[in-house]
């Protein structure tokens, strides 16, 4: 694998006025660029010899509206199980109450790979509008992004301008809403069942009561502490 610090330095030298940020964390390079610069930068990343990112491995949407909220975390349990699935103090907290409230709600993340240079890169860009997120499609640069962009459109409602066939890919015909948005209920809005009188499957309002029974539990006891010490000793 090519040196990540060298790649980061090359990116900063090549795009000094374009990069919003360029970070190296956990041996991975991540750059953030504005939507207006996406097409130009991606063309350079694919075609220039210093980068040669011929392959787009993945493209996905991210919803940052609940970023930083801790309603799923707890460090206590009981002998009879959980009385509720989330922390009462933050239950129903506004999705705008996050660490990233000043940034646009949505992001599109691209994972690129260069076979020629044996290196990887993560590219992130935030559509400006949180109400109607729109960003340029990179289909003309990496045609393999076709279904990835359709998936992000289906699940997050992000519109990829210039995509040749932008339509839902996972949800049913006539589906309303975008299931991966943080404000979409876990139980959904509708359910379907077979109606014997009508002889077909019908849709109706969901009858399941929304609830969460298993929050994320951070345990601090000797079982996990000993395991961590063992891993540190073996790595040393």
pLDDT in tens, 109-139: 999 999 999 999 999 999 999 999 999 999 9
Domain boundaries in the chain? 4-235
Confidence bin at 190 (pLDDT 50/70/90): confident
What whole-number distance in Å separates Cα of residue 7 and Cα of residue 24? 10
- Is residue 54 within 8 A of residue 115, CB to CB? The reply is yes
How much is the pTM? 0.76
- Residue 218, by phi and psi: left (phi above 0), alpha (psi -120 to 50) or beta? beta
Q: Give me the CATH topology for the region 4-235.
A: Beta Polymerase; domain 2 (3.30.460)
d(CA 159, CA 120) in angstroms, rounded, equals: 26
> Cβ atoms within 10 A of the Cβ of 58, count?
14
For the cut 80, the answer to whether the pLDDT of residue 28 exceeds it is: yes
pLDDT at 91: 46
Residues 38, 32: Cα–Cα separation, whole Å: 10
- How large is the average pLDDT for residues 143-151? 97
What whole-number distance in Å separates Cα of residue 95 and Cα of residue 183? 8
């Amino acid at each position: 694998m090519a040196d990540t610090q060298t790649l980061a330095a090359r990116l900063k030298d090549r795009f000094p006025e374009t990069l919003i940020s360029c970070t190296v964390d956990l041996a991975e390079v991540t750059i953030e660029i504005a939507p207006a610069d996406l097409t130009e930068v991606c063309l350079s990343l694919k075609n220039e010899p210093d980068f040669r990112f011929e392959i787009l491995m993945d493209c996905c949407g991210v919803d940052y509206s609940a970023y930083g909220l801790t309603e799923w975390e707890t460090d206590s349990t009981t002998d009879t199980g959980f009385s509720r699935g989330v922390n009462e103090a933050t239950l129903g907290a506004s999705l705008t109450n996050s660490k990233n409230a000043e940034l646009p709600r949505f992001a599109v993340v691209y994972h690129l790979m260069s076979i020629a240079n044996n290196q990887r890169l993560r590219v992130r860009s935030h559509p400006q509008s949180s109400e109607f997120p729109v960003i340029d499609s990179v289909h003309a640069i990496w045609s393999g992004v076709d279904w990835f962009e359709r998936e992000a459109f289906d699940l997050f409602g992000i519109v990829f301008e210039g995509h040749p066939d932008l339509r839902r890919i996972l949800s049913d015909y006539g589906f309303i809403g975008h299931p991966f948005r943080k404000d979409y209920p876990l139980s959904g809005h509708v359910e379907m069942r077979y109606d014997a009188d009508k002889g077909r499957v019908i849709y109706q309002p969901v009858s399941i009561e929304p609830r969460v029974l298993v929050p994320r539990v951070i345990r601090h006891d000797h079982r996990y502490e000993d395991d961590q010490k063992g891993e540190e000793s073996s790595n040393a």
